Amino acid sequence: MSDGRALAREFLEQQRLLGGDPVILTDGPTPGFTPGATPGLRPGSVTPPVTPVAASVPTGPLTPGASPGNTQSPRTSPGKSKASGAKESSDLPPSGLSYDPPGGDLFSADPLQQAASLEAVAALVSTCTKCRLCEARGRTVPGEGPGDARLVVVGEGPGRVEDETGRPFVGQAGELLTKILAAIDLPRERVFICNVVKCRPPENRVPQYDEIAACLPYLFRQIDLVKPRAILAMGGTAAQTLLNTKQSLGALRNQIHRFRGVPVIVTYHPAALLRNPNWKKPTWDDVRIARRLLD
Ligand code: SF4
């Protein structure tokens, strides 16, 4: 497939997600369009302008710690240019950061890269001593949910109850997450739920950079195996880690980001909602966007 067709396909997919209008060719010649130059496209069919895609959808990895500002697409909402009678999907937010971390080597001897199931990843996590968090943990918390889940929820790290049970998002915050998912008609059992780090940080402190770096390959492998239609990053640590950015949660909300091509929605962590009920409304807005990405 030529680069032009690949870019066109990417553009159309982005248009679909953002609810943008398709570009319909008129009968007359279209500026910049040479008949026959793009195999498979014909007058009257949906045709993307290729150039803007290359400018708005960065595909290369970000340098850790680098400012992602130049990777953001214009903050213009596609809904603003729509005529009256626009589809409901035009309410989706604009695209944001795109992050494509190094992929696994298929021929690697690394057991994690050879792990072919979520259970295999969990088995590796259960004996992991790659960072200091192994020292005080009760149980590892690799994550839970079906291997074909359409949505992956990513939090920060296990708390006390999670450390005792080996399950993610249990206790009060977990109950709230279950309610949030039920409100968008998504039973918890159909979602893969996990954290950035798989062992509890002492006193529930925020995981440190080297701990996150040591644990990230497990999360990346889990996402690779599940191949979800969308990822819901709950809390600043999950969002900044998945998107490789230092931007605040507030700045990252209300955009559709991408992680290895998978749409990522950023919202508040349920534990934060318990402390600040005023964030429930924006969280509801975020999860509804995530829900629409699944259909
Ligand atoms: S937090 Fe992750 S990297 Fe650290 S010991 Fe636990 S499983 Fe291993």
Is a pLDDT exceeding 60 seen at residue 79? no
Kindly list the strands in the beta sheet with 230-234, ordered across the sheet, starting from the edge strand earlier in the chain: 95-99, 256-259, 262-267, 230-234, 151-155, 191-195
Query: In this predicted structure, which of 77-86, 195-204, 237-246 has the lowest mean pLDDT?
Result: 77-86
Q: What pLDDT does 70 receive?
A: 36
DSSP the chain: --HHHHHHHHHHHHHHHHTPPPPBP-SSPPTT--TTSSTT--TTSB---HHHHHHH---SPPPTT---GGGPPP---GGGGPPTT--GGGGSPPEEEEE-PPPP-TT---HHHH--SHHHHHHHHHT--SSGGGTT-SS----BS-TT-SEEEEES---HHHHHHS-SS-HHHHHHHHHHHHHTT--GGGEEEEESSSSPPGGGPPPPHHHHHHHHHHHHHHHHHH--SEEEEESHHHHHHHHT----HHHHTTSEEEETTEEEEEE--HHHHHH-GGGHHHHHHHHHHHHHHH-
Checking DSSP bridges between strand 262-267 and strand 151-155, what pairing results, if any? unpaired
Question: Using a 6 Å cutoff on CB, does residue 139 contact ligand 1?
Answer: no
pLDDT band at 186 (very low <50, low <70, confident <90, very high): very high
Question: Using a 6 Å cutoff on CB, does residue 273 contact ligand 1?
Answer: no
Are the beta carbons of 222 and 194 closer than 8 angstroms? yes
Q: What pLDDT does 97 receive?
A: 86
Q: What pLDDT does 105 receive?
A: 67
Is a pLDDT exceeding 90 seen at residue 40? no
pLDDT digits (tens, 9 = 90+) for 130-171: 999 999 999 999 999 999 999 999 999 999 999 999 999 999
Q: What pLDDT does 206 receive?
A: 96
Ligand 1 centroid to 198 CA: how many Å?
Answer: 6
pLDDT digits (tens, 9 = 90+) for 4-29: 666 666 666 655 555 444 444 334 44
Mutate to test the pocket of ligand 1, among 208, 211, 220 (most ligand atoms within 8 A of CB): 211
Ligand 1 centroid to 152 CA: how many Å?
Answer: 20
Question: Using a 6 Å cutoff on CB, does residue 219 contact ligand 1?
Answer: no
Q: What pLDDT does 93 receive?
A: 87
pLDDT band at 35 (very low <50, low <70, confident <90, very high): very low
Question: Using a 6 Å cutoff on CB, does residue 141 contact ligand 1?
Answer: no
pLDDT band at 60 (very low <50, low <70, confident <90, very high): very low
Ligand 1 centroid to 264 CA: how many Å?
Answer: 24
Annotated domain spans of the chain: 1-26+35-57, 111-294
pLDDT digits (tens, 9 = 90+) for 227-279: 999 999 999 999 999 999 999 999 999 999 999 999 999 999 999 999 999 99
Is a pLDDT exceeding 60 seen at residue 284? yes
Is a pLDDT exceeding 70 seen at residue 115? yes
pLDDT band at 59 (very low <50, low <70, confident <90, very high): very low
CATH superfamily of 111-294: Uracil-DNA glycosylase-like domain (3.40.470.10)
Report the nearest atom of ligand 1 relative to the CA of 157: 1
